[in-house]
Structure 1
Amino acid sequence: MIQARSVRLAAVIVLGGAVALATSACGGPMQAGAAAVVQGQRTTDATVQDQVASIVSLVQHNNLQQGDVTDEERSALAKAQINLLVQQAVWQKVADDNGVKVTAADDAKEHSALVEQARGSLQGTKFTGSDNEAVALADAESQQNSSGLAPSSVPVYSHIQALVTAVIDDQATKLRVDPNDQNSLPALQGAILPMLSKASTQIDVKISPRYGSFDASTRQVVAAQTSWIRPTKAQVAAAAAAQAQQQQSQ
């Protein structure tokens, strides 16, 4: 994951464990061709496969990985795209329940900060891609902390960050603590974790078992041991061509 820029956003690292609870709401029949349906919004298998292809193309084009991507890696990347949508739904529910509003300007501010941080980390490289590709590549370069972001998922990630910031600021005001003070974290976590847990039981989430399962003992989404997500050479080539076209338009 791209490093948090402040104590306030660092709280999401600790609070993020509760986000996995949202997947406990999954189940029920899936529509044909659907990877997930989150709060009524359907994400198709084709969309997830294209997202995985775009990540594969990005990391290979920038020499972060040589050779084929393993089944385990594909499975993790596919799960990451679904998990991002679930995280967004959980934080949106918490924000809505508390009357917290996030504007387009808030999203743009978070996106701009992520882009600035990402391009800063890529200085000294020959990367000339789009802003979203820069954020995705910087995320991929973080290796063990990688969120598995596809370029097309960056706006969702930015919105989640905006929601997190708004919710933490709202609770900090109510608790009369400084959201940027490390000593405030226990109080903020104590207030927000129950909200995340409650929201996770109330959102409507259906996830195809092909993308993994929910492990109640660890409260984590466990990716399938094998992955049927195998972007073809044509898909990876198409993703590479799209990225090259964006670079030329910069």
Structure 2
Amino acid sequence: MHRRRRTPLALMAATLLAAPLLTACGGDARPGAAAVVGGERITVAQLDAQVGQARDAQVAVFGEEGYADALDQQCSAARQAELQQREEATAQGEKVVEGRETCAPDRATLAGMISERVVTAAADEAGITLTRKDLRERRAQLQEQTGGTAEQLEEAYLRTYGIPAARIDDHLGYQLRLDGLRQKYAPGVSPEQADVRVRQELVKTAERLGVDISPRYGSWDGKQLLMVAGSDPWLSSDPRRLDEEKADARAQAQGEGMPAL
């Protein structure tokens, strides 16, 4: 397993929320699915379960206000990453897509779930494999950077990414596969050049797989690989209002004779 560079956890804050995002194949996602990747459904139930797992873990550790504050920090990091990407796109003469939304927990989580699947497929196609030793070594590196104990690493992941302890290895695998893709397709170049090259490969992989997303969660821009906000008003970027707005939207839908999503 090839590795790129050690990246401090604090500097990786935007990775999950602003990960390389993927092109849609058009049309509505299949009923009951938040997205479909390579013919495999990411169901609404799976998405809600992952969002709920992260929320419950953060509330248990930080409390309700601490949970909201942690999401604010993640949102700020994602917006910084978005700003940098917009500046780079403008400098290269590319059209900048308006309406991107990375802060709503539902959309951000779905983006991460899609990205993990496409990165895994790209790594498999490139012959990149992971071992438990790779995961242990990466975990040990990050644990050292976050204070030296497993508990400190878990709290840092929960605060920075909103990822509970049970899913840390999944995210480490995601990062290691990206490192392997950088090493394969862009060895010996700057990190910025490597990321551009890898993103090109991810676009190809996504096109081969076919990625479809329910318009309930927004849409995808295939050239810039950005998530664009949908029109559903209850997908709030403010965690203090999210559950309340969902309940209001469901009540309104039922009152109008529409199925509750």
TM-score bin, normalised by smaller chain:
0.5 to 0.7
**Equivalent of 1:210, from 196, 205, 216?**
216
Pairing 1:65-76 to 2, within 5 Å after superposition? 65-66=64-65, 76=104
**Equivalent of 2:113, from 85, 101, 119?**
85
Amino acid at match of 1:196: L
Q: Which residue of 1 aligns with 2:83?
A: none
**Are positions 1:194 and 2:208 aligned together?**
no
**Are positions 1:97 and 2:125 aligned together?**
yes
Q: Distance in 1 between matches of 2:103 and 2:44?
A: 13
CA RMSD of aligned residues (A): 4.2
Cα displacement string for residues 6-50 of structure 1 (whole angstroms, at most 9, x for unaligned residues): 39xx89979x97821x14336444133x32332343333223222
TM-score, normalised with respect to structure 1: 0.59
Please report how far the alpha carbon of residue 160 of structure 1 lies from its aligned counterpart in structure 2 after TM superposition: 0.8
**Equivalent of 1:159, from 173, 176, 188?**
173
Amino acid at match of 1:207: I
Q: Which residue of 2 aligns with 1:45?
A: 44
Q: How has the CA–CA distance of structure 1 residues 154 and 26 changed in structure 2, closer, same or farther, with 3 Å as cutoff?
A: farther
Cα displacement string for residues 112-170 of structure 1 (whole angstroms, at most 9, x for unaligned residues): 4445545x28x7xxxxxxx6x8656423433xxxx443544433212111201222223
Q: Which residue of 2 aligns with 1:107?
A: 135
Q: Distance in 1 between matches of 2:156 and 2:12?
A: 21
8 A Cα contact 2:59 2:67, kept in partner: no
Cα displacement string for residues 161-196 of structure 1 (whole angstroms, at most 9, x for unaligned residues): 120122222335xx4x2xxxxx63355345323212
Q: How has the CA–CA distance of structure 1 residues 207 and 53 changed in structure 2, closer, same or farther, with 3 Å as cutoff?
A: same
Pairing 1:97-176 to 2, within 5 Å after superposition? 97-118=125-146, 120=147, 137-142=155-160, 147-171=161-185, 175=187
**Are positions 1:222 and 2:228 aligned together?**
yes
Q: Structure 2: any 5+ residue segments left out of the alignment?
A: 76-101, 237-241, 245-261
Identity %: 23
Q: Structure 1: any 5+ residue segments left out of the alignment?
A: 124-130, 178-182, 232-250
Q: How has the CA–CA distance of structure 1 residues 43 and 202 changed in structure 2, closer, same or farther, with 3 Å as cutoff?
A: same
Work out which structure has the larger RCO, using CA pairs closer than 8 Å and 6 or more positions apart in sequence.
1
Please report how far the alpha carbon of residue 55 of structure 1 lies from its aligned counterpart in structure 2 after TM superposition: 2.2
Please report how far the alpha carbon of residue 214 of structure 1 lies from its aligned counterpart in structure 2 after TM superposition: 2.3
After alignment, is 194-203 or 157-166 more displaced? 194-203
TM-score, normalised with respect to structure 2: 0.57
Q: How has the CA–CA distance of structure 1 residues 165 and 218 changed in structure 2, closer, same or farther, with 3 Å as cutoff?
A: closer
Secondary structure of 1:226's aligned partner: coil
Q: How has the CA–CA distance of structure 1 residues 29 and 203 changed in structure 2, closer, same or farther, with 3 Å as cutoff?
A: same
Q: Distance in 2 between matches of 1:68 and 1:11?
A: 19
Q: How has the CA–CA distance of structure 1 residues 107 and 29 changed in structure 2, closer, same or farther, with 3 Å as cutoff?
A: same
